[in-house]
């Protein structure tokens, strides 16, 4: 039987299950304990598992991640929470110079099994540094794996799979989707879950492929529903894993539909959409009926809350890109 819960609650359940299943799992971050996190993702966990396993840290992201590196080397599985996306940059050096390099530096002798959770993206009316989309920085870094859930069911299983992995994983959570509900099978064995680093066809179609992840999957699904009213069957692929990208699923779809539109909140310049467009063009050139198009945030600092709806990719911008693709 499935429970209908929010994405945020699904993450809470997934973290709880990981804490129950492995005594080496520890959660650490700013206000994750008594407060339960600013979004209440860790609500109740410190009360049930104690202050030694759900740790309130100082406001020091470099210290949080650096401490987690040491814990991971000593056999623990730390789960760091970066309170907001824009707060990750003080820890950037630790992530790219230590977390990402340790396995290679030690010639495979030292693993760093840790998860860095980052609520990301806009749409919540927040102030500066609270609505960033920094996923390209980390997806570009060899040695890191990067994933993003888009719905409660994936949130529940993906966070557990990330914690159980022996690789360091940056786990991006679409914060404006925290309150959206979906069916989650809380009692299903994790071994039966969809693989962590596989993309998923969220909606089948034959006329064009929409590629999205995290908060933009819902926008892509809405666009596909509207396009269907006009007789266009759009296939929606939820990437789920940003590094490594599951290219075989993407290539199969684009070779069949002949058209592709990539959607993400982050600025377009050198974003993930650029790499996806390049790879699709290289691998599917003779199947394409039109250039690969991108619908992204603009190449500006994230705007003030009163202007963010003009910045974020929306239904109209996606459908306009689809129309342009069919215009070729």
| Mean pLDDT value across residues 174-201 | 96
Going across the sheet that includes 260-267, the strands are 200-203, 234-238, 208-212, 260-267, 293-297
For residue 54, pLDDT over 80 is answered with yes
What was the pLDDT predicted at 1? 77
Q: In the chain, count of helices (H) and strands (E)?
A: 12, 14
Q: Using alpha carbons, select from 207, 323, 234, 321 the residue that is nearest to residue 273.
A: 321
| Mean pLDDT value across residues 301-305 | 95
Q: How confident is the model at residue 217 (pLDDT cuts 50, 70, 90)?
A: very high
Asked whether the beta carbons of 41 and 81 are under 8 A apart, the reply is yes
The predicted-structure confidence for 272-283, as pLDDT tens digits, reads as follows 999 999 999 999
What was the pLDDT predicted at 191? 93
The predicted-structure confidence for 236-250, as pLDDT tens digits, reads as follows 999 999 999 999 999
Q: How confident is the model at residue 188 (pLDDT cuts 50, 70, 90)?
A: very high
Backbone angles phi, psi at 80, to 5 degrees: -90, 135
For residue 228, pLDDT over 90 is answered with yes
The predicted-structure confidence for 70-119, as pLDDT tens digits, reads as follows 999 999 999 999 999 999 999 999 999 999 999 999 999 999 999 999 99
pTM for the whole thing? 0.97
Distance (Å, whole) CA 73 – CA 241 = 25
Q: How confident is the model at residue 2 (pLDDT cuts 50, 70, 90)?
A: confident
| Cβ count near 197 (within 10 Å) | 19
What was the pLDDT predicted at 233? 98
The predicted-structure confidence for 115-161, as pLDDT tens digits, reads as follows 999 999 999 999 999 999 999 999 999 999 999 999 999 999 999 99
Distance (Å, whole) CA 74 – CA 52 = 16
What was the pLDDT predicted at 58? 97
Q: Using alpha carbons, select from 65, 23, 20 the residue that is nearest to residue 45.
A: 20
Inter-CA distances, 258 with 202, 220, 253, Å: 18, 17, 8
Distance (Å, whole) CA 20 – CA 47 = 13
Mean residue pLDDT across the chain:
97
Active site positions, annotated: 130
Distance (Å, whole) CA 285 – CA 255 = 9
Q: What share of the chain has pLDDT > 70, as a percent?
A: 100
Asked whether the beta carbons of 314 and 219 are under 8 A apart, the reply is yes
Three-state DSSP at 128 gives coil
| Mean pLDDT value across residues 10-30 | 98
């Amino acid at each position: 039987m499935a429970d209908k819960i929010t994405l945020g609650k699904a993450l809470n359940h997934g973290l709880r299950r990981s804490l129950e299943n492995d005594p080496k799992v520890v959660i650490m971050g700013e206000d994750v304990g008594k407060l339960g996190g600013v979004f209440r993702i860790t609500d109740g966990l410190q009360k049930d598992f104690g202050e030694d396993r759900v740790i309130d840290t100082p406001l020091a992201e470099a210290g949080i991640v650096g401490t987690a590196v040491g814990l991971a080397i000593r056999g623990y599985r730390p789960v760091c929470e970066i309170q907001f996306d824009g707060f990750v940059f003080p820890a950037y050096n630790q992530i790219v110079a230590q977390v990402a390099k340790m396995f290679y530096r030690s010639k495979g002798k030292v693993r760093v099994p840790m998860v860095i959770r980052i609520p990301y993206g806009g749409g919540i009316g927040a102030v500066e540094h609270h609505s960033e989309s920094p996923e390209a920085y980390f997806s570009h870094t060899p040695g890191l794996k990067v994933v993003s859930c888009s719905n409660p069911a994936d949130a529940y299983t993906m966070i557990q799979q990330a914690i159980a992995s022996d690789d360091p994983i940056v786990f991006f959570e679409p914060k404006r989707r925290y309150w959206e509900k979906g069916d989650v099978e809380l009692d299903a064995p994790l071994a039966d879950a969809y693989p962590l680093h596989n993309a998923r066809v969220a909606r089948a179609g034959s006329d064009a492929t929409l590629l999205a992840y995290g908060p933009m999957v819902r926008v892509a699904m809405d666009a596909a529903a509207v396009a269907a009213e006009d007789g266009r069957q759009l296939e929606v692929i939820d990437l789920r894993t940003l590094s490594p990208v599951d290219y075989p699923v993407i290539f199969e779809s684009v070779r069949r539909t002949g058209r592709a539109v990539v959607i993400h909140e982050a600025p377009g310049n050198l974003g993930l959409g650029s790499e996806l467009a390049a790879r699709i063009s290289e691998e599917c050139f003779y199947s394409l009926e039109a250039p690969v198009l991108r619908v992204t945030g603009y190449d500006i600092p994230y705007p003030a809350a009163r202007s963010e709806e003009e910045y974020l990719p929306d239904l109209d911008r996606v459908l306009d890109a689809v129309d342009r693709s069919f215009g070729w």
